[in-house]
Chains A and B, each alone.
Chain A
């Protein structure tokens, strides 16, 4: 066995491009997921049953469909259903973003609902409006509890972008496959990108852990 990393390093520009694509898709789809997730969480928190059900259906749909199936369906099946053209980039962003929204929505909803009912009672009795008590009493407490699961979900999201390679979006994994097929060095290439993922994500999870400890103290 001869572990020769020089061929991989020679193609560093391809890997850097792949990394950039991975980070870009993570940022986009997390942003979409959070915005839609917040909206869906608010739906689930209304006293109005039809809206709650709508939120519930959304969450269950995207939480229970495998991501790979969702991506392939969005790219290959959705355009035929709707008779439209969808680029692989749009399909990838929509699929991953909607998928994330289901998980983010649950984290946000559970965070708000985990706050003791007495906090709302106290704020109501003091005359605070719905928005005042959400903004000043409930959300500040809920957000602290949400940070660790939100970070966890974002880590998952970055890892999930590797599935974009099946849509031939040139993310880190796709680039690695390309380099591997031209250099015949799969061992070195896949080892390097595996380490890259760990190097990127480990600080994030360490940060979350530290935050959690500080909160517990």
Chain B
């Protein structure tokens, strides 16, 4: 893909993080360029979610440096430490939009109120403008009629799409996704992946922690494999996922390819039937 530019949006350097004796991040260097879609993969406990939460300082690293569009968000080198007021941190942090595994919508607010909350309270956008933007975002997420519904009245897939709209409402320059489909019923995964795919097509810069290897393979400009708190492999998905250079990565991927191989007769059968009956419009939104 060629949409990647040399413009670095997010840069982390030498990130270290421990929980007690557990050293979850052991010196991670990582850059994201404008328009780039990076998928973070790795086994549970490899540090990928911790790394993502460090990127917008939701989790404070023990060591290292974080820059977002050149603005420092965190720096700590031994005892020397950059001191930022919480409003300064917040001003840099809101350049990132974040989507969580468990959605984390505000349950006492409707979908629309969830989306307009931060623009009104944090950015002081006039209510009418915020609502107009929210309605447009809901339409883009394929949920034009969900505005007045409470999160409990929406399916998991719908909630996650509202959560994406809520993050987009702050007009972030980079979106961070923390296993956005892991809490969903299997039949609802597709609609959320479709929404993310659409964002990628619009050129949004994204970092996605995911277990959907197929999705990473299809969508990512770059796949980063985390293992035991470090970046163990980093490259374009085709080269990275198909090469056997890194034994642990090969083992990690082989579980998915094994599954794909087992399912291949189904794929062949589905292909055969879709030739017989033309497939439905694949651009339409599942609901």
Q: Is B58's CB under 8 angstroms from A126's CB?
A: no
For window 126-144 of chain A, which residues contact chain B by CB distance below 8 Å?
126-130, 132, 136-137, 140-141, 144
Task: Determine which residue in B106, B107, B123 has the highest number of CB atoms from chain A within 10 A of its CB, and name it.
Answer: B106
Q: Is B108's CB under 8 angstroms from A140's CB?
A: yes
Q: Is B118's CB under 8 angstroms from A127's CB?
A: yes
Q: Which residue of chain A has its CB nearest to the CB of B93?
A: A127
Q: Is B106's CB under 8 angstroms from A127's CB?
A: no
Say whether B139 faces chain A, with CB atoms less than 8 Å apart: no
Q: Is B106's CB under 8 angstroms from A125's CB?
A: no
Q: Which residue of chain B has its CB nearest to the CB of A143?
A: B108
Say whether A124 faces chain B, with CB atoms less than 8 Å apart: yes
Binds A, one of B95-103, B205-213, B227-235: B95-103
Q: Is B108's CB under 8 angstroms from A141's CB?
A: yes
In angstroms, Cα B163 to Cα A170, docked, is: 59
Given contacts A126-B122, A141-B107, contact A118 B87 (CB under 8 A): no
Say whether A121 faces chain B, with CB atoms less than 8 Å apart: yes
Q: Which residue of chain B has its CB nearest to the CB of A138?
A: B106
In angstroms, how far is the closest chain B Cβ from the Cβ of A125? 4
Residues of B contacting A125 in the complex (Cβ-Cβ under 8 angstroms) = 56, 58, 93-94, 96-98, 167
For window 111-125 of chain A, which residues contact chain B by CB distance below 8 Å?
116, 118-119, 121-122, 124-125
Residues of A contacting B166 in the complex (Cβ-Cβ under 8 angstroms) = 126
Q: Which residue of chain A has its CB nearest to the CB of B96?
A: A125
Interface size bracket, B side: 20 to 34
Q: Is A132's CB under 8 angstroms from B104's CB?
A: no
Residues of A contacting B98 in the complex (Cβ-Cβ under 8 angstroms) = 121-122, 125
Residues of B contacting A126 in the complex (Cβ-Cβ under 8 angstroms) = 94, 117-118, 122, 166-167, 170
Q: Is A122's CB under 8 angstroms from B104's CB?
A: yes
Q: Is A127's CB under 8 angstroms from B94's CB?
A: yes
Q: Out of B58, B108, B121, B123, name the residue touching A132 (CB < 8 Å).
A: B121
Q: Is B90's CB under 8 angstroms from A127's CB?
A: yes
For window 52-78 of chain B, which residues contact chain A by CB distance below 8 Å?
56, 58
Say whether B86 faces chain A, with CB atoms less than 8 Å apart: yes
A selection of 15 A-B contacts at a CB cut-off of 8 Å is: A119-B104, A122-B106, A124-B58, A125-B58, A125-B93, A125-B94, A125-B98, A126-B117, A126-B167, A127-B94, A128-B118, A132-B121, A136-B121, A141-B108, A144-B108
16 more contacts with CB within 8 A, not counting A118-B100, A118-B102, A127-B93, are: A119-B104, A121-B58, A122-B100, A122-B106, A125-B56, A125-B58, A125-B96, A125-B98, A126-B94, A126-B118, A126-B166, A127-B118, A128-B121, A129-B90, A132-B122, A141-B107
Which residues in B have some Cβ–Cβ distance to A below 8 Å?
56, 58, 86-87, 90-91, 93-94, 96-98, 100, 102, 104-108, 117-118, 121-123, 166-167, 170
Which residues in A have some Cβ–Cβ distance to B below 8 Å?
116, 118-119, 121-122, 124-130, 132, 136-137, 140-141, 144
